[in-house]
């Protein structure tokens, strides 16, 4: 479709000349201009193929004016951070934590006999669940660094961050982890240190500055004379990356052995600032091994240490040693670092790049005693005014919703930016210990069809799983957690699965067994049996119909077997059906009266043994089988004549009469009953020669005379 149609109601702007489209095949047509046609069809897998018939562009050759091309175009770009295979890994990995949490929820609800599952320690279960999920969300591991550490290396990473993990950790931080509420600002500092690089796509970031400076570091001769050195260092200090700042200070030229004597006072000032930075008090329980700063768990101890530390900075800032320092660039850079630590708003605004970095710097140097989430939203608004965002990042909207304590906004941002998986699993975090969020998300809504918001998003995620051949197996976990509509959709999902592949069929039946859906399992096995039977796999068809205990279908199969085995003894089709007769078993009720077929099979075998006409003993055994069949009430009347016609050799046995007088009369009576049975409307005539009845009558009459004479 021509690209100039953008804005004129076109859903997908597309230009055939672009290199991003892949032609599947040319399509010739005789449509007259103007052309305005579209065709939509499913392609391989879950791809949707859209065929557009558009007017040829001015640059296209005349030879293509009467033709078209079918192309495959990606209508929406995939998440560049997470591949399809990684998404499936996350989907499968999150099943176990989700199922375990739902099991615990049900157990607590049963113990408390209350619809709300909340317990004093419920948030700990949710936190464990959150940690398990977070372990799945990390990006790809980066290659390990060199064995010998580079002294000029400023920042290192062991894992590529992802927006999905950043969003998850934000939710865990604010909604779940009650132990960290007292040092929530410090957790934000750590969060920004891990995920600041994600904002590089839409903003200038401190992480980006560090990476760019790291690339140029090898070309810098005198590092302290480069303004970027002090700029990057002040930026890193503003967001609390103390280890990076101290490492960069130690790169100062005054630390070189050949300059220590001549730049002793300058080096002393650099070292004092480095020590002050490394001794910065932090209100947090503990810090990572590589992070600097003195940690305090109690607020009184932290306040005392903070005031002492700030007084030392103030004292150093007013020291006369600055006048005695010969390097003005060093003096200005160090004093700017002191101003940042003293909480100078202008210095912090200059050092930070976007409002989240400025927000974190306020907690470090201007409002260090902040605990909990109180007034954090107002501060965020202030920082956005000081640092207006040039573009919107997917994490900023989520953070604003969290700070504003607006559950609906948070849920909407998760759905819009991170998709159904995020919402289906994050609702457990949003309701951890929050009665208000519990009521909002779990109350039933009339406009949603009587289901809750939680159930709605779980159903949406289950639909996504169900649409893919590699993930439909885990959709039942989420459907069964939806009390209103989940089981109905689960039945539809199970019925929709293909029965032609044995692995899929067995998986389907196993799911039915796990959730006690015996009626569905029976129907699926019946469908599988009919499918295999119609496609010539008769043994598999009989097996699945037996598993389904479908007496009706098995009875119909029995009728087909009656027709097959009722043919002449020389017919090879008997061998074909013999295995199925064996498979059907001898029980008459579920197999539609197949007890007769097993006896008839034995009778056929005995007839084959006497085919030579020489073994009188084998012939007598065959006659015994014949009499038992004719006396058996399960033998259908339409089978009497075929049985007798197959037994002509026995009736006309040359050596002697094999049937007694009474047995012969029994067979004659059966022929008389057969004449009456033929008058019934549903009687089926056997496929025998026209002379079959007269031949049997003659043989019986002859045998009767011989039997009377013998007796």
* Average pLDDT, rounded, for the chain: 79
- Residue pair 183/369 in contact (Cβ under 8 Å)? The answer is no
Q: Using one digit for the tens of pLDDT, what is the confidence trace for 74-87?
A: 544 456 678 888 88
pLDDT at residue 599 greater than cutoff 60:
yes
Where do runs of H (alpha helix) occur along 515-633?
518-534, 538-548, 551-565, 573-584, 595-609, 616-631
pLDDT at residue 573 greater than cutoff 80:
no
Tokens matching residue 325: 């320092």
pTM: 0.73
Tokens matching residue 65: 């004016």
- Residue pair 119/106 in contact (Cβ under 8 Å)? The answer is no
Q: In the chain, how many H helices and how many E strands?
A: 32, 8
Residues 6+ apart with CB under 8 A from 68: 26, 27, 28, 29, 51, 52, 53, 54
3-state SS assignment for residue 38: strand
Domain boundaries, the chain: 23-54+67-74, 187-388, 550-710
**Least reliable range by pLDDT among 22-26, 467-471, 659-663:** 22-26
Predicted local distance difference test score (pLDDT) of residue 317:
85
More confident residue, 435 or 624: 624
Question: Among residues 437, 456, 457, which one has the least CA distance to residue 446?
Answer: 456
Q: Using one digit for the tens of pLDDT, what is the confidence trace for 366-400?
A: 988 876 677 788 889 999 999 888 778 889 999 99
| DSSP conformation class of 364 | I
What CA–CA distances, in Å, run from 674 to 83, 214, 609?
73, 102, 28
Task: Tell me the average pLDDT across 668-692.
Answer: 77
pLDDT at residue 597 greater than cutoff 60:
yes
Omega within 30 of 0 (cis) for the link into 382:
no
Predicted local distance difference test score (pLDDT) of residue 151:
60
Q: Using one digit for the tens of pLDDT, what is the confidence trace for 497-521?
A: 888 888 888 998 998 888 888 889 9
pLDDT at residue 587 greater than cutoff 60:
no
């Amino acid at each position: 479709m021509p690209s100039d149609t953008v804005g004129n109601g076109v859903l997908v702007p597309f230009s055939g000349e672009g290199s991003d489209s892949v032609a599947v095949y040319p399509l010739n047509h005789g449509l007259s201009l103007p052309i305005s046609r579209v065709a939509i069809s499913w392609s391989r897998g879950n791809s949707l193929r859209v065929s557009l018939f558009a007017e040829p562009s001015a640059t296209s050759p005349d030879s293509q004016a009467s033709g078209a091309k079918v192309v495959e175009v990606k209508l929406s770009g995939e998440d560049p951070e997470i591949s399809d295979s990684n998404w499936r890994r996350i989907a499968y990995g999150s099943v176990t934590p989700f199922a375990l949490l739902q099991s615990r929820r049900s157990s607590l609800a049963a113990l408390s006999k209350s619809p709300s599952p909340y317990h004093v320690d419920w948030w700990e279960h949710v936190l464990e669940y959150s940690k398990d999920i977070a372990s799945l969300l990390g990006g790809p591991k980066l290659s390990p660094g060199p064995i010998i550490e580079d002294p000029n290396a400023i920042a290192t990473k062991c894992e590529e961050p992802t927006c999905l993990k950043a969003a998850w950790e934000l939710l865990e931080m604010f909604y779940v982890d009650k132990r960290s509420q007292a040092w929530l600002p410090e957790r934000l500092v750590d969060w920004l240190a891990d995920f600041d690089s994600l904002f590089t796509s839409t903003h200038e970031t401190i992480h980006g500055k560090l990476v760019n400076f790291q690339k140029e570091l090898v070309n810098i001769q005198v590092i302290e004379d480069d303004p970027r050195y002090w700029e990057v260092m002040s930026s890193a200090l503003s967001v609390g990356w103390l280890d990076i700042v101290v490492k960069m200070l130690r790169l100062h030229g005054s630390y070189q052995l050949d300059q220590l004597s001549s730049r002793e006072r300058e080096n002393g000032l650099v070292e004092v600032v480095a020590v002050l930075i490394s001794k910065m008090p932090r209100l947090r329980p503990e810090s990572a091994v590589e992070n600097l700063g003195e940690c305090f768990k109690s607020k009184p101890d932290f306040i005392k240490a903070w005031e002492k530390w700030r007084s030392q900075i103030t004292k150093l800032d007013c020291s006369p040693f600055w006048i005695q320092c010969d390097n003005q660039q060093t003096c200005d850079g160090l004093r700017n670092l002191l101003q940042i630590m003293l909480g100078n708003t202008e210095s912090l605004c200059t050092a930070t790049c976007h409002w989240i970095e400025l927000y974190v710097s306020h907690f470090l140097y201007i409002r260090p005693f902040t605990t909990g989430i109180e007034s954090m939203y107002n501060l965020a608004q202030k920082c956005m005014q000081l640092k207006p965002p040039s573009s919107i990042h997917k994490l900023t909207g989520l953070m604003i919703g969290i700070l504003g304590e607006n559950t609906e906004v948070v849920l909407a941002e998760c759905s819009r930016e991170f998709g159904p998986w995020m919402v289906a699993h994050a609702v457990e975090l949003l309701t951890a210990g929050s009665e208000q969020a519990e009521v909002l998300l779990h109350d039933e809504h009339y406009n949603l069809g009587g289901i809750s918001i939680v159930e709605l998003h779980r159903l949406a995620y289950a639909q996504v799983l169900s649409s893919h051949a590699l993930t439909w197996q885990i959709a039942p976990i989420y459907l069964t957690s939806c009390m209103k509509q989940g089981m109905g959709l689960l039945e539809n999902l199970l019925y929709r699965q293909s029965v032609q592949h044995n692995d899929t069929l067995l998986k389907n039946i196993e799911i039915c067994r796990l959730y006690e859906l015996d009626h569905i399992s029976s129907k699926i096995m019946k469908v599988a049996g009919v499918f295999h039977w119609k496609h010539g796999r008769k043994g598999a068809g009989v097996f699945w119909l037996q598993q389904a205990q479908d007496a009706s279908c098995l009875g119909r199969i029995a009728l087909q077997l009656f027709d097959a085995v009722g043919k002449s003894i020389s017919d090879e089709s008997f061998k074909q059906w013999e295995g199925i007769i064996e498979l059907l078993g001898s029980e008459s009720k579920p197999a539609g009266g197949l007890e007769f077929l097993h006896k008839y099979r034995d009778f056929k075998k005995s007839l084959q043994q006497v085919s030579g006409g020489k073994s009188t003993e084998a012939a007598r055994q065959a006659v015994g089988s014949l009499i038992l069949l004719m006396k058996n009430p399960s033998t259908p009347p339409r089978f009497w004549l075929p049985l007798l016609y197959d037994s002509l050799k026995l009736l006309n046995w040359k050596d002697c009469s094999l049937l007694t007088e009474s047995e012969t009369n029994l067979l004659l009576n059966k022929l008389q009953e057969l004449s009456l049975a033929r008058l019934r409307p549903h009687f089926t005539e056997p496929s025998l020669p026209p002379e079959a009845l007269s031949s049997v009558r003659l043989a019986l009459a002859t045998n009767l005379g011989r039997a009377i004479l013998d007796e």
